[in-house]
Amino acid sequence: MNIYFLIIFTLLIGDYLLGLTVETANLRALRLDVPEEFADVYDREKYKKSQQYLRENTFFELASSGVFLIITLVFISAGGFNVLDRFARAFKAGEIITGLIFAGTLIALSQVLGIFVAAYHTFVIEEKYGFNRTTVRTFVADFFKKMLLTMFLGGIIFALILWFFGYAGKIAWLYCWVATVLFELFVVFISPVVIMPLFNKFTPLEAGELKNKIEEYARKERFAMQGVYILDGSRRSSKSNAFFAGFGKSRRIALYDTLVKGHTVDELVSILAHEMGHYKKRHILKQIAISIVTTGFMFYLMSLFLNNRLLFDAFKMEHLSIYAGLFFFSFLFTPLQTIISLFSHAFSRKCEYQADAYAARTYGRPQAMIDALKKLSVNNLSNLTPHPWKVFFSYTHPPVLERIRAIKNIHS
Ligand SMILES: [Zn+2]
């Protein structure tokens, strides 16, 4: 038995079983009583419905990832990667083009599987709980736009990586690291102007109380930005959100139209104050720094495994290649990725408390911040009482009750 084959199978199955354990504990932690903080916004019936929503999503997620796991295991065991490699090599192109065909086909196949999952989630589950606003036409258009973008942007960076590993020798990982980081920063930079408008319409916020209060607050906090925009989120879902896009003075604030509709001016300014808090406390910079360091670490490790014959044997490959090695390495990297994400999630949760405190202090209306958090949780049917394991493994934000209690403690 090939040792890498054994390791990869153990990792894939172990990862699924870990998820299953955490999700089961999470569902078992549900209680029928409405938490005291939410007694004024949830009645028993609506609270029960929010828990049913969580149950249904969890079952569906476990079922679809179980099917995906089985397909992956069968694909590996049956030598599917080698069949794909023969197909890519049949074009008799150079290493980079062959690699692009190999990766492109693999990603297209997984996207096709993914579209069934996404369609069921949108048109069955989200529809049933009243969230869905997407038409089939928008859904299909989104799918093709995302696919083309992934192929185009992913193709550029994948070709660059293949080129470096093919020609730059021992320090190729270093070139890959620098190129990937620069490319990612570039994409983030152009995204609000070039990529996001492909999916949503951004309309400048009309003059009025909300705009005045946002601008007044931003001036007081010396927060430079390019403008405040309303985004037509209601085209797809009734769920709501707000975010910042871009860097420095070209930063834009985007508010979902669904958010503006359901919140008071003070609540909206509190939400933006929270987002600005992330910038003021340098959370964004720190998170970018963490991701730069882990990317470098990943490329270095990757460079150690690329020409490992034993690893290629595990996938029943006839030929060694850099492009296939990148995918095989990603299987080995999964547990490390999980460990890294534990740290970055924990850091992110800490940042959320700091941004809440920043918003409550600088805007001076902690109750508005609390009301906004409550409304967001109710509108999105969020889980109010997640199991601590679930929080530990996958929450980038602290559970809402803990955030509310922390905000209350700031002023008492
Ligand atoms: Zn935040």
User: Which residues have a Cβ under 8 Å from the Cβ of 243 and sit 6 or more positions away?
Assistant: 253, 254, 275
More confident residue, 117 or 224: 117
Three-state SS at 101: helix
Q: For residue range 376-394, what is the model confidence (pLDDT) as tens digits?
A: 999 999 999 999 999 999 9
Q: For residue range 165-206, what is the model confidence (pLDDT) as tens digits?
A: 999 989 999 999 999 999 999 998 888 889 999 999 999 999
CA of 394 to the centre of ligand 1 (A): 15
Closest CA to 352 of 267, 287, 264, 258: 287
CA of 373 to the centre of ligand 1 (A): 11
Note whether 254 and 202 are within 8 A (CB): yes
How many CA atoms, within 13 angstroms, populate the side-chain half-sphere of residue 50?
24
Does the pLDDT of residue 400 top 90, yes or no?
yes
Angstrom distance (rounded) from CA 396 to CA 20: 19
Task: State the angle between helix axes of 283-305 and 172-190 in degrees (0 to 180), rounded to the nearest 10.
Answer: 140
Note whether 230 and 203 are within 8 A (CB): yes
Count Cβ atoms within 10 A of the Cβ of residue 90 and give its class: 0-12 exposed, 13-18 middle, 19 or more buried. exposed
Closest CA to 401 of 377, 381, 365: 377
Res 261: pLDDT: 92
CA of 275 to the centre of ligand 1 (A): 6
CA of 288 to the centre of ligand 1 (A): 15
Does the pLDDT of residue 246 top 90, yes or no?
no
Res 412: pLDDT: 53
What is the DSSP pairing of strand 252-256 with strand 227-231?
parallel
| Angle (CA) 269 279 340, round 5° | 120
Res 383: pLDDT: 97
CA of 36 to the centre of ligand 1 (A): 24
Instruction: Give me 365's structure tokens.
Output: 């209306």
pTM: 0.91
CA of 374 to the centre of ligand 1 (A): 15
CA of 271 to the centre of ligand 1 (A): 9
CA of 279 to the centre of ligand 1 (A): 10
CA of 208 to the centre of ligand 1 (A): 26
By percentage, how much of the chain surpasses pLDDT 70? Answer: 100
Closest CA to 334 of 362, 305, 298, 370: 298
The residue whose two tokens read 């290649």 is 321
CA of 355 to the centre of ligand 1 (A): 6
- What value does the mean pLDDT take over residues 241-252? 82
Angstrom distance (rounded) from CA 57 to CA 108: 25
Three-state SS at 202: strand
Instruction: Give me 320's structure tokens.
Output: 């060694």
Beta bridge partners of 245: 252
Does the pLDDT of residue 354 top 90, yes or no?
yes
Three-state SS at 392: helix
CA of 142 to the centre of ligand 1 (A): 26
The residue whose two tokens read 């209601």 is 234
Q: Radius of gyration of the chain from Cα atoms? A: 23
* Largest distance between two CA atoms of the chain: 71
Res 411: pLDDT: 62
Q: For residue range 304-337, what is the model confidence (pLDDT) as tens digits?
A: 998 899 999 999 999 999 999 999 999 999 999 9
- What value does the mean pLDDT take over residues 394-398? 97
CA of 34 to the centre of ligand 1 (A): 25
CA of 357 to the centre of ligand 1 (A): 11
CA of 138 to the centre of ligand 1 (A): 29
User: Which residues have a Cβ under 8 Å from the Cβ of 162 and sit 6 or more positions away?
Assistant: 95, 96, 99, 322, 323
| Angle (CA) 203 207 212, round 5° | 115
CA of 150 to the centre of ligand 1 (A): 27
Q: Quick one: the chain helix, strand, coil %, rounded to 5?
A: 75, 5, 20
CA of 75 to the centre of ligand 1 (A): 40
Neighbours of ion ligand 1 (CB under 5 A): 352, 355
- What value does the mean pLDDT take over residues 290-294? 95
CA of 116 to the centre of ligand 1 (A): 31
Closest CA to 154 of 106, 122, 222: 106
Q: What DSSP element (H or E) covers 237? A: none
By percentage, how much of the chain surpasses pLDDT 90? Answer: 90
CA of 278 to the centre of ligand 1 (A): 7
* Average pLDDT of every residue of the chain: 94
- What value does the mean pLDDT take over residues 86-102? 96
- What value does the mean pLDDT take over residues 15-43? 95
Domain boundaries, the chain: 3-199+281-411
Res 395: pLDDT: 97
CA of 193 to the centre of ligand 1 (A): 23
Spell out where 216-325 has E strands.
227-231, 242-245, 252-256
- Measure Cα distances from 329 to 150, 170, 345 in Å: 20, 17, 23
Three-state SS at 222: coil
CA of 344 to the centre of ligand 1 (A): 14
- Measure Cα distances from 394 to 29, 119, 227 in Å: 16, 24, 33
Res 410: pLDDT: 85
CA of 189 to the centre of ligand 1 (A): 20
- What value does the mean pLDDT take over residues 11-16? 96
Angstrom distance (rounded) from CA 358 to CA 110: 42
CA of 141 to the centre of ligand 1 (A): 30
- Measure Cα distances from 240 to 54, 232, 256 in Å: 18, 10, 6
Distance between first and last Cα of the chain: 63
